[in-house]
Amino acid sequence: MISSLFLRPLWALCLSLAACSAPDRAENPPAAARAAVPAAPEIPAIPPLRTDTAGQAWVERTLAGLSLRQRVAQLVFPWISGQSASANPGEQQRMLTWVTRDEVGGLIVSTGSPGALAGKLNAAQMRAGVPLLIVSDLETGPGMRLNPGGTRMPPAMAFGAADDTALARQAGRATGAEARAVGIHLTLGPVLDVNSNPANPIINVRSFGESPERVARLGAAWLLGARETGLLSVGKHFPGHGDTNVDSHVGLPQISGDSARLAQVELAAFRGAMRAGMDGVLVGHIAAVGIEGPGAPPASLSPRMIGMLRGPMEFRGIVFTDALNMGGVTRRYSVTEASILALLAGADALLQPPGHPQVIDGIVAAVESGRIPRPRIDEAARRVLTAKAAAGLHRGARVDLGAVAGAVATDAHRELARTVAARSITLARDRANAVPLRRGARVLHVTYTDNGRGTAGGVLQRELAAGGVTAEHVRVGPATPAATFTSLRTRAAAADVVIASIAIAPFQYRSLGIGGGMPGFVEALSASGKPVVAVSLGSPYLLDAFPSVPAYLLAWDAGAAAEAAAARALLGAIPITGRLPVSLPPHHRAGEGIDRRP
């Protein structure tokens, strides 16, 4: 059923997008063209932000009781950490001030233990005049923020490699159960970017893959699972961050596709998720130069791009900006000006604006001067309140602290993470027939990280030892001296197999490249005929660094579940059945993968 969760055919969407947004087209297609388009049967969609009659009445009653300043404050979502009050009492007091003095609409929360975060959010809700909508990024499951203590799931691309909608739906359900247990109501996910550009520095494994159909199908499945627990979902990064080569935390990425390209690729995934009842869309700081031309503003501030959501895409859910402290906006605009422009463009919720009290003042002044129409504020505030009602906050916002421990990192959720990790393992090549490893083989295991330190590769090493493979383990990084690699080449000569595990994953302000002596080390060993197995614990796009490596295994993540699955695959303890959800040009095409059975 999930594969049918699309709105109109892509040609119809393309026609409507071209009519509304292409700068060189008329407002509407010619009458003859309209007459020639046959009516397409519509599959009933699940509406966003569903609430009951009592919730709707609460929204209107609450909105009627808010002043202009209070309505503006409802649109603002500042950032807090997940630390407990005892660990960071200063932040706790600031948070409570934001709730009581500024009357913000919600908070976006970062990392903390489940108990600490739940207690902190309960304290905030106790003091809120209007219940707070609590938002968080949970791309790799609840363990991304409930850390330590939550279930860490593999990233989206691992789900793409397994390509199982049932697993995606179960992961959404598990994420929702743990998030709601601690007081998180809305997640900024799923990631609906189609990762068609291997050089993309920030999306990468955060995407389900390069196929719009797969991204739509798995994204829809994930959010349907989340919906079952009451967790609201806000897909990102509209209109698509997958075909970019700039990190929007640093600068302003551009997408050059015209309306037809966007309809066929980037927007198809969003439409599928909307069809499945996605509650909101996060609009990225991305310039759609193919539609708006040179000098295009970020989509998050663009009336044309947000108008595309409300017009031809017929989306009626809540629209968030991406974080307003990111370089994609701060390099060109003040925070207050960016916030005003976002609201004028049609955004409803302002995510993470620095200095939010001044931002609220500036927006109120813009309304009072006539720059922002008052109905625009009312519309946005109504959507924020409707999201709160859809999350059930009109019935109560605090969670049962005694129930938190039993709801997070359950045996079932951890087993699900292990299952996804195992099903996602992909063997792109094995020219030396090195996988599985021979029992008793002497192995040199070299792990590369961006700083040469950390825990990456540790679980892989431990599981190999438990499986009877003795391996020497060394960590290296871009600053590792050449003499170390010279020594490693000598030690490799005495090994039967060399495992080169590489833990590189997208993160803001960080390069995805492999530096230092690691590429040359792997290439030299490969050229000598030594069996080398490169194991990706993150980005799949590593083969340009060592194109001659005879074996390439992808585990997609450096989390414990993924590393354990990689080890078991290397040991021949589990079947290898994953398929590449992205191309690795010029080395491998999407869909490739070698099956290995125990």
Active site residues: 249, 322
- As a three-state string, the secondary structure of 506-554 is CCCCCCCCCCCCHHHHHHHHHHCCCCEEEEECCCCCCCCCCCCCCEEEE
Q: Which of 237, 211, 255 is nearest to 582 (CA)?
A: 211
- Chain centroid to CA 438: how far? 38
Helix (H) or strand (E) holding 471: strand 470-476
Helix (H) or strand (E) holding 429: strand 426-430
From residue 218, alpha-carbon distances to 122, 165, 207, 378 in Å are 33, 6, 10, 35
User: At which residue do the structure tokens 């979502």 appear?
Assistant: 77
- 235: helix, strand or coil: strand
* Bond before 131 cis per omega within 30 degrees: no
Q: Which two tokens stand for residue 132?
A: 């707070």
Q: Can you give the length of the chain in residues? A: 598
From residue 237, alpha-carbon distances to 135, 284, 299, 334, 523 in Å are 16, 5, 10, 22, 37
Distance between CA atoms of 447 and 453, rounded to whole angstroms? 9
Q: Which two tokens stand for residue 73?
A: 């404050």
